[in-house]
């Protein structure tokens, strides 16, 4: 079995790297959606988290409220899309994350 490569992207400040989950291919009523009708995914798994935003002149960092492995909801058009080793990721600010999915 191939070992999964470690993500070699380290986000800065309050930025978070998220791997988007696949968009739905079937509606709740059972209708299959063509590729052109699929919406951009809004859920993902946190893959890397920055150290937090600097606060004022004190040099202290505000802790980030998500951690690696959390499933999150984010705005459809928020953040920047990047590709690393053939995998698509989104780099978001902490404020772009709308909610954390409770398990």
- What's the pTM? 0.75
Q: Return the CATH superfamily for domain 15-100.
A: GroES chaperonin (2.30.33.40)
Specify whether the CB–CB gap between 44 and 76 falls below 8 A. no
Q: pLDDT category, 90, cuts 50, 70, 90?
A: very high
User: What does the domain layout of the chain look like in residue ranges?
Assistant: 15-100
Cα separation of 25 and 38, whole Å?
7
Percent share of the chain, pLDDT over 90:
29
Q: 3-state DSSP call for residue 98?
A: strand
Asked if residue 46 has pLDDT above 80, the reply is yes
């Amino acid at each position: 079995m191939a070992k999964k490569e470690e993500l070699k992207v380290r986000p800065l400040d309050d930025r978070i790297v998220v791997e988007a989950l696949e968009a739905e291919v079937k509606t709740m009523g059972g209708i299959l959606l063509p590729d052109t009708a699929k919406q951009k995914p809004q859920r993902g798994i946190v893959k890397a988290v920055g150290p937090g935003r600097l606060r004022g002149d004190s040099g202290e960092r505000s802790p980030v409220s998500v951690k690696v492995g959390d499933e999150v909801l984010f705005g459809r058009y928020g953040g920047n899309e990047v590709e690393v080793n053939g995998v698509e990721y989104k780099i978001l600010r902490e404020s772009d994350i709308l909610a954390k999915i409770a398990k």
